[in-house]
């Protein structure tokens, strides 16, 4: 598992800042998403599923973000593109290009018209994740998100 403090300070915060989408709530939501989706450990979905990367983004979601959101926001698109490795498949970059995957996770949430919960409202962040990232059809639960956040994120802040 990646060190959460380093992940926060050297990956999530700088990426969100660079694309102009930083807030403490966004940072906590993105970190919570990674902890819930992959435990900051798995880079491909288990059982040969389609999801990829620390945030377990599915290729269809990835492509929809590019076609229906970033295509109409040139400044944000340029920020996300700045993380891409040239001549490499974008979907496969979700697996190994942590900065790109982080930017795409944040952009996924930017598409939601509802404001983010407060940064310290873990149950609110969990509900937001469930509604807008995992969806009602996903296997993850709000309680599971909260439990993982408290186990991994809160504990790492205390170490």
pLDDT in tens, 65-95: 999 999 999 999 999 999 999 999 999 999 9
pLDDT in tens, 135-158: 887 789 999 999 999 998 876 665
Dist CA 128 CA 67 (whole Å): 23
pTM (two decimals):
0.94
| Whole-number pLDDT of residue 156 | 65
Dist CA 118 CA 135 (whole Å): 20
CA-closest candidate to residue 5, choices 158, 157, 151? 157
* Domain extent listing, the chain: 4-158
Cβ-Cβ contacts under 8 Å for 39 (sequence gap 6 or more): 1, 148, 152
pLDDT in tens, 30-62: 999 999 999 999 898 877 789 999 999 999 999
């Amino acid at each position: 598992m990646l060190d959460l403090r380093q992940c926060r300070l050297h990956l999530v915060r700088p990426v969100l800042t660079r694309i102009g989408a930083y807030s403490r709530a966004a940072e906590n939501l993105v970190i919570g998403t990674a902890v819930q989706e992959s435990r900051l450990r798995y880079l491909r979905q288990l059982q040969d599923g389609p999801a990829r990367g620390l945030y377990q983004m599915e290729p269809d979601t990835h492509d929809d973000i590019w076609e229906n959101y970033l295509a109409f926001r040139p400044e944000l698109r340029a920020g996300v593109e700045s993380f891409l490795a040239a001549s490499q498949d974008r979907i496969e970059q979700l697996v190994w290009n942590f900065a790109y995957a982080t930017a795409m996770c944040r952009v996924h949430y930017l598409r939601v018209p509802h404001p983010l919960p407060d940064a310290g409202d873990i149950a609110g962040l969990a509900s937001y994740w469930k509604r807008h990232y995992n969806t009602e059809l996903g296997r993850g639960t709000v309680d599971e998100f909260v439990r993982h956040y408290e186990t991994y994120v809160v504990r790492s802040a205390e170490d």
